Structure 1
Amino acid sequence: MLSYQHAFHAGNHADVIKHLSWIGVINALKKKDKPFTLFDTHAGAGAYDLTDEMSLKNKEFETGISRLLTKDSSTQDLPHLLADYLSLCEPFLAQQQYPGSPAISAKAKRDCDNLHLMELHPAEFDKLDKNLSRLRSLNTHVHKRDGYEGLRALTPPKPNRGAILIDPPYERLNEYSDLVKGVEQVFKRWQQAQIVVWYPLLSERAGAKSGASEAMCDQLAALGKPCFKAEICVAENTVDAGMYGSGVFVLNPPWQLDANLNHALESVIGMLGAGEAGFHATAHVSWINEDN
């Protein structure tokens, strides 16, 4: 149940789209002086050593974040959301690390903003606690608890501003339905919550999980909140492709996040270039429930 460790996948294409989206949400919240609260339900280790055995096993960062940093263009020439993401990552990468969403949140938020990081995996929690203590981020709280239980206990925040990142490992099929229930429960107490949900795109090789993300997105859309999804595909969706891409489903998105994310992803897919079998990455952003 608690076997997943994100270090095997740190810095891959899934992290790129997830962290671009999350930084976009945080940037929008920072436009007002009023403090806000961030929640991360499946925080992981917080930061990842790209030289350790797990990260080097598949070297997924080499087809993700590394490709975004080997181009000649400076961040000044990039869409501002992508430039913000790369600027935040660069100090970590200079130390052969990739920042997970907890580190990104801690560095992107202001001292007056609150951050709650929840992780149940014992080994990952210990790493998270150590990594976040090194960052010395004010008003950052690390919890060894179930993420959905944590949301029930800690929301709505005061003041009533903030966002939630949910990116479970989806090792078990029921994690998809658990996520929908968790989001439903949040909206019963906190209607204004901005929520970013990451999900994998899986081929038929995944068996019962194939199509589960799409069904989950339909259920999230049925909650009636303004929402859009953004997806990136790095391989052709053949029967044996496995995880051929991933996406984010954003509920109550801030103004212009869709446009900013689309602009950033257009640059990202060009920088990622061709992958396996010469497939060129694709990306698209599409509204599900328009924000009227």
Structure 2
Amino acid sequence: MLSYQHAYHAGGPADLHKHAALAALLARLTAKDRGVTYMETHAGRALYDLSGAEAAKTGEAAAGIGRLEGLPPSPFHDAVMSARAANGPSAYPGSPAIAAHLLRKQDRIVLMEKHPQEASALKRAMKTTGAEVHARDGYEGVLAVSPPKPRRGLVLIDPSYEVKDEYGRVADFVPQLAAKWPEAAILVWYPLLPTGRHEAMASALEGAGAARHEVGFEPLRPGGMEGSGLVLWNPPFGAAADLGAGRILAPQVLSA
């Protein structure tokens, strides 16, 4: 299914949760000189304009980053400020742009995006970063190029979950990838919806020793997203404690 476009949801509360955690994790992985490989299964377009019609239609950006007058100092804050310095005050970095800001010359970025329009925009946004962009199915693509060099790394799995069996596909994919690339930390994002479809997937992944972190927020529409969840498989040293102690920017601050 190729109808989903993240521009309608960029900068919302779920993005803040996911991207702040991602930035903190990348900062931890790059604390030492050894190179890392960063991959994504569903990369999106990397850069979003929050003054656009898409953001205005859903109101998610206004309910997310738009309600924060000033972000606290953090790797996520640095990535947002860098995107705005280069692209204007309404710019918002997607996960590929956050990674490109935080990673170094010795690191590698490999991005998968199946949606034709999003893949084209992704290639344009990342053309000066050295990132490898593949217009292909993310699950198949990441498995095909794993294990990479450098072997130490992180994979972000961030599908739209528009298709009901996506939860099962993620639950099956994570252990497959871990078996092929055991050095990788694997970060899975999922929405908290009234139907609770995420629960079986998240519980299965958490049961393998992964760290799990969820935050709730007011849905913008009846039956809409009630929160955001993350499961971190094979967490680097200290990363699980970061999640458990809330040492990331959590969307609860938006309702304070």
TM-score computed with the length of structure 2 as normaliser? 0.91
Distance 1:259 1:67, change over 3 A: farther
User: Structure 2: where are the runs of 5+ without partners?
Assistant: none
Aligned residues: 250
TM-superposed deviation, 1:110: 0.4
Give the AA of the match of 1:3.
S
Aligned-partner SS, 2:144? helix
Q: Residue 187 of structure 2 corresponds to which residue in structure 1?
A: 196
The separation in 2 between residues aligned to 1:249 and 1:144, in whole angstroms, is 26
Equivalent residues of 1:21, 1:196 under 8 A apart: no
Instruction: Determine which of 102, 106, 113 is the counterpart of 2:96.
Output: 102
CA deviations on 1:158-193 (whole Å, 9 max, x unpaired) are: 232001000100001111111112112112211221
CA deviations on 1:14-45 (whole Å, 9 max, x unpaired) are: 11111111112211111221111000110011
TM-superposed deviation, 1:54: 1.1
Instruction: Determine which of 217, 222, 237 is the counterpart of 2:202.
Output: 217
Give the AA of the match of 1:218.
S
Aligned-partner SS, 2:109? strand
The separation in 2 between residues aligned to 1:53 and 1:245, in whole angstroms, is 24
The separation in 2 between residues aligned to 1:117 and 1:265, in whole angstroms, is 25
The separation in 1 between residues aligned to 2:147 and 2:174, in whole angstroms, is 13
Instruction: Determine which of 239, 248, 253 is the counterpart of 1:264.
Output: 248
- Hey, which of these two has a bigger chunk of helix by percent? 1
Q: Identity percentage over the alignment?
A: 41
Equivalent residues of 1:152, 1:186 under 8 A apart: yes
RMSD: 1.9
Instruction: Determine which of 81, 85, 94 is the counterpart of 2:76.
Output: 85
Give the AA of the match of 2:129.
S
The separation in 2 between residues aligned to 1:92 and 1:63, in whole angstroms, is 20
Query: Is 1:173 equivalent to 2:158 in the alignment?
Result: no
The separation in 2 between residues aligned to 1:5 and 1:60, in whole angstroms, is 14
Equivalent residues of 2:84, 2:92 under 8 A apart: yes
CA deviations on 1:85-126 (whole Å, 9 max, x unpaired) are: 112102324512110001111111001100001000011111
Give the AA of the match of 1:255.
F
Aligned-partner SS, 1:263? coil
Instruction: Determine which of 228, 231, 235 is the counterpart of 2:218.
Output: 235
TM-superposed deviation, 1:215: 0.8
User: Structure 1: where are the runs of 5+ without partners?
Assistant: 204-209, 275-292
TM-superposed deviation, 1:66: 2.1
- Counterparts of 1:59-78 in structure 2, within 5 Å, are 59-68=59-68, 70-71=69-70, 78=72
The structure whose Rg is larger is 1
- The structure 1 segments of at least 4 consecutive aligned residues displaced by more than 4 Å after TM superposition are none
The separation in 1 between residues aligned to 2:122 and 2:132, in whole angstroms, is 11
